[in-house]
Structure 1
Amino acid sequence: MGSDADEPADAGRAPGWAEAITGFRRYLVAELNRSPETVRAYSADLAGLRGHASRAGCPDLADLDLTILRSWLATMRVAGAAPATLARRASLARVFSAFAARRGYLASDVAARLVGGRARRQVPQILSVEAARELLQVGPGLAGRTAAPVGRAAADPGGAPAGRTARRDREVAVRDALRLRDAAVLELLYGSGIRVSELCGLDLGDVDDDRRLLRVHGKGGRERSVPFGVPAAAALRGWRASSGRPMLATPSAGAALLVGQRGGRLDARAVRRILERCAAAGVVPAGLTPHGLRHSAATHMLEGGADLRSVQEFLGHASLATTQIYTHVTPERLRAAFEQAHPRA
């Protein structure tokens, strides 16, 4: 017996957009194990497709056809949508159309012959080994430069001189805690190559100090163990000491390993701001992202002699093909391999 996602719609009904999109959302979660972020993005894209079809005089789902889908993509292309965006939305249209045809929302798979643009494979910006070392040494010291402590850290103990002194002492302690936090963030991002979402999702119980392993919850709900090195272990010890996490955490943090300036679980925007501070100080190139640190880690592993399968496990990729997109062979490594292996080098 098939799942609910593959059962046809009731005979005689004319299901519309809202019902089909609701069913598709359930299918993405139950059958394809997509993340909440992916489901939200796909829902927004389908809402855009629905609006385009309505403006084209085809408000009913049953009116959807290949011409409407092609004009939807063409309109976005003219508006300047990136190739990656067009490729993603063409892929979504094909998946949704096939699902809707199976369920009986559409009479046929109208997107079966839809051809979307192929996203250009771009190598993310990466750091050299020397630049990564400088980031880990200097970056944490930039914490607290751009904003005064807020929330619990800014509570004014009083207006008297003694109260103002206590407040200043508290703010200094918070900045010190942020430096410890940023050291842990940067060491884990680069040292373990984890995604920023995985970093922010770590709990205290996900750290195995004895074996120096992180229990990471990746895409699609997949769980893996990722090693971290001695410098990251030292940064984690400093962060979890009394002058680190306990100085910032509020009850809203729960079991979160990393917390933000307001005391709750750290989010991806705060991590990006850490790198923006580093770029503003000239420590890293402008535009470096957490993903760039992940890619740097993978590239440096390959340059150090790691095989592609090991890097695949390290990054948590389900497919080796994905790892090949993330990684590239530097000219220096290619030259070294050529001189070592080729008889005419």
Structure 2
Amino acid sequence: MSEFDELPDELRRVFGAYLNHLVVERGTASSTLEAYTRDLRRYGSYLVHSGAGTLRGVSSELVGEFLATLRTGERDGAPLAPASAARTIVAVRGLHRFAFVEGIAEHDPASEVTPPALPRRLPKALSLDEVLCLLDRGTVGGPRGLRDRALLELLYSTGARISEVVGLDVDDVDTHERTVLLDGKGGGQRRVPVGRPALEAVEAYLVRARPSLAAGKTQASALFLNVRGGRLSRQSAWSVLKAAASRAGLTSSVSPHTLRHSFATHLLEGGADVRVVQELLGHASVATTQVYTMVTMNTLREVYATTHPRAHD
């Protein structure tokens, strides 16, 4: 039984030809093909109800109206989630493009219809207890352990990107002023404060570990060195972070940006002004930083809901 038996003959043939094209010419995965089949069945039903028995009579307005029904749930039940609606529009755009290229239709009415913007994902932040667990239990002994502890402490203390931290030279750390000089995106530099625990970890690494890692390379300027005495790479630093998270027993995903997200979130939860956090993170626009305020607002809502006497009245 065809997936499109309820459609007029011409629509059924075009829809089937498009799905066959995806399999034979594009090598589309079976799971994606199944999803596209459901999406196109919904689209075909909409076309029939709208009086369009072929693709030739479909206008851009009709495709746009179909998009609106995905958001509202009209005719076909519950509205689709933004990601599902976006996938459906991709399937519809691909269908019309295929029909136009193959000469089945004289124009492509879906070319100007874009998928809906997906909601911005909130950054994942660790709790303070999780950060402390990562720092206290995530590293091992020896020179590499001292280096890794200093690396993790510095990432959380400064909110720096992992590429900025591995790019540090020894002279970029000012232990007297308790600051580090970071090279940010676009060649911009910023000097940010460093907490005492991070400075102590860096000093312990410089005195007790870095000389052995330098392996006699007295001209080496990089702050964080690998076992061969060269600059620690971003990929190696990421491996350090993942290994530390595993040792600390953190079950949530810990990415290179996790400590940066946690830094920003904890500052805002502590009452820091968003523009101060913007400067510390090196964001060109405060709008980029404001995504973190969404995270803290979720926390505020939870606190409000559980503590205010009339939160649920």
Q: If the TM-score is normalised by the length of the shorter chain, which range does it land in?
A: 0.5 to 0.7
Question: Aligned ranges for residues 137-286 of structure 1 at < 5 Å?
Answer: 137-141=136-140, 176-241=142-207, 243-250=208-215, 251=217, 254-286=220-252
Structure 2 CA distance for partners of 1:253 and 1:320, relative to 1, 3 Å: farther
Structure 2 counterpart SS, 1:290: coil
Secondary structure in structure 2 of the residue aligned to 1:279: helix
Of 250, 273, 288 in structure 2, the residue corresponding to residue 322 of structure 1 is 288
What aligned pairs does 1:44-193 form with structure 2 within 5 A after superposition? Answer: 118=117, 120-141=119-140, 176-193=142-159
Aligned partners of 2:154 and 2:194 also within 8 Å = yes
The alignment status of 1:332 with 2:293, answered yes or no, reads no
| SS of 2:139 mapped into structure 1 | helix
Tell me the alpha carbon deviations over residues 117-171 of structure 1, each in whole angstroms, 9 at most, x when there is no partner: 7454212322111111111111122xxxxxxxxxxxxxxxxxxxxxxxxxxxxxx
Letter in 2 for 1:213: T
CA distance in structure 1 between the partners assigned to 2:162 and 2:201 by the alignment: 17
Task: Find the residue that maps to 1:194 and give its secondary structure.
Answer: coil
Q: SS in structure 2 opposite 1:123?
A: coil
Which residue in 1 is equivalent to 2:271? 305
Contact 1:253 1:265 in 2 (8 A): no
Shift of 1:279: 3.3
Q: 8 Å contact 2:159–2:263 — kept in the other structure?
A: yes
Q: Based on CA coordinates, which of the two structures has the bigger radius of gyration?
A: 2
Q: How big is each residue's C-alpha offset from its partner over 1:252-278, in whole Å with a ceiling of 9 and x where there is no partner? A: 972101111222101111111112212
The answer (yes or no) to whether the contact 1:312–1:323 under 8 Å persists in 2 is yes
SS in 1 for 2:121: coil
In 1, distance between residues paired with 2:268 and 2:301? Answer: 11
Calculate the TM-score normalised by the size of structure 2. 0.58
Unmatched runs of 5 consecutive residues or more in structure 2 = 1-24, 33-82, 87-111
Whether the 8 Å CA contact 1:252–1:265 is kept in 2: the answer is: no
CA distance in 1, matches of 2:145, 2:173: 20
Deviation, 1:299, is 0.5
Counterpart CA distance in 1 for 2:235 and 2:254 is: 13
Report the residue type matching 2:296 in the other structure.
Answer: V
Q: 1:284 Cα shift?
A: 2.0
Q: Residue 261 of structure 2 corresponds to which residue in structure 1?
A: 295
In the aligned structure 2, how far is the partner of 1:279 from the partner of 1:210?
A: 31
* 1:86-112 deviation per Cα after TM superposition (whole angstroms, max 9, x unaligned): 9xxxxxxxxxxxxxxxxxxxxxxxxxx
Identity of aligned residues (%): 42
2:138–2:247 contact (8 Å) kept in structure 1 = no
Instruction: Give a deviation string over 1:42-81, Cα, whole Å, max 9, x none.
Output: xxxxxxxxxxxxxxxxxxxxxxxxxxxxxxxxx99x787x
Q: Decide whether the 8 Å contact of 2:138 with 2:246 is kept in 1.
A: no
8 Å Cα contact 1:190/1:293 also seen in 2: yes
1:276-314: CA deviation from partner (whole Å, max 9, x where unpaired) = 212333532353012011001110111111111111111
Alignment CA distance shift 1:320-1:114 (3 Å): farther
Aligned length: 206
Q: Which amino acid aligns with 2:142?
A: D
Q: Which residue identity lines up with residue 249 of structure 1 in the other structure?
A: A
Going from structure 1 to structure 2, the CA distance change for 1:116 and 1:203 (only over 3 Å counts) comes to farther
TM superposition score normalised by structure 1: 0.53
Pair 338,203 (structure 1): closer, same or farther in 2 beyond 3 Å: same
Amino acid at match of 2:192: V
Amino acid in structure 2 at the alignment position of 1:248: L
